[in-house]
Amino acid sequence: MEILSGEFFTALITIILIDLVLAGDNALLIGLVAKNLPKGQQKQVIFWGTFSAIFVRILLTLVAVKLLQYDGLLLAGGILLLYISYKLLLTEEDINVKPSKKNFWGAIGTILLADILMGVDNIIAVAGAAHGSTLLVIIGLVISIPIVVWGSAFVTKLMEKFPLIIVLGSALLTWTASKMIVKDAYVSKFFTTQEAIYTFETIVVLVVMIIGLSVKYLIKRREVAPN
């Protein structure tokens, strides 16, 4: 992939959008951890927690990018990402973590551990969207994670006001997953033309969206139905 090409910028925008949709809970966690500390340390924890999270996330994503080059792993990663995008349609974002660390290094450790555990979806999605480009991974995460951390309140309110953003985010993840699947060595031989690839990607996105939204509708109807 050539730097500054249309494909490069499309992949970069995809990575940034993926993080904006998926990383809101990680950003809110950093805020929760910082609140447990004295005010003089809160800004330091937010800064170093964010910096450490970016560094660790880049390393893990680069590892994932390399692993996805092995035959069969793009297919497995794509299927897992399909499940993640489906779950995104069904669930509301809740922060269930109750950080209790009240010292500086304990807070940093909590942020890093939680970011790794809560960031698996981001890592897989970004690795798939990067198409093997280390530069895309680094640029995308360096841009998007600070935006999410310092703009998490705005992003969260925006998603609450416009639920369509979640649907569009899920569609983006599904599209990324379908692109991963068709590029896998075990699958690519079945798609000999670009038209066949586009048709498959479109069908996958439509199927996941229809199933996910239908199940969500049925769940909501069941919740509001009188006992």
Per-residue pLDDT tens for 148-157?
Answer: 666 655 665 6
Q: Does residue 119 carry a pLDDT above 50?
A: yes
- Residue 215 burial (CB count, 10 A): 13
Segment 118-133 shows an average pLDDT of: 75
- 1 located within any domain: no
Span 182-206, pLDDT tens digits: 988 899 889 989 999 999 999 999 9
Considering the domain boundaries, does residue 139 fall inside one? Answer: yes
Mean pLDDT of the chain: 76
Above 80 in pLDDT, residue 71?
yes
Q: How many domains does the chain have?
A: 1
Take residue 74 and report the two structure tokens written for it: 């793009």
Does residue 33 form part of some domain?
A: yes
Lowest pLDDT segment from 3-7, 8-12, 113-117 = 113-117
Give the confidence band of 98 by pLDDT, cuts at 50, 70, 90: very low
What pLDDT is stored for residue 157 in this prediction?
66
**Strand segments (E) across 89-223:** none
Name the phi and psi angles at 29, rounded to 5: -60, -45
- For residue 145, the model assigns a pLDDT of 65
Is residue 91 a part of any domain in this protein?
Answer: yes
Distance between CA atoms of residues 113 and 146, nearest Å: 18
Q: For 100-109, what is the mean pLDDT?
A: 65
Scored b (16 or more CB within 10 A) or e, 93-108 reads: eeeebebebeeeebbb
Largest CA distance in the chain: 61
Instruction: Determine the average pLDDT of the residues in 18-36.
Output: 63
Is residue 225 in some structural domain? Answer: no
The reply to whether 226 falls in a domain is no
Parent domain of 48: 6-219
More confident residue, 32 or 9: 9
Determine the distance from the C-alpha atom of residue 21 to the mean position of all C-alpha atoms in its chain, rounded to a whole number: 6
The answer to whether position 118 is within a domain reads yes
pTM (two decimals): 0.66
**Which tokens sit at 202?**
């479109």
Ramachandran category for residue 131: left, alpha or beta (phi over 0 → left; psi -120 to 50 → alpha): left
Residue 20 lies in a domain: yes
Among 57-61, 141-145, 207-211, the least confident range: 141-145
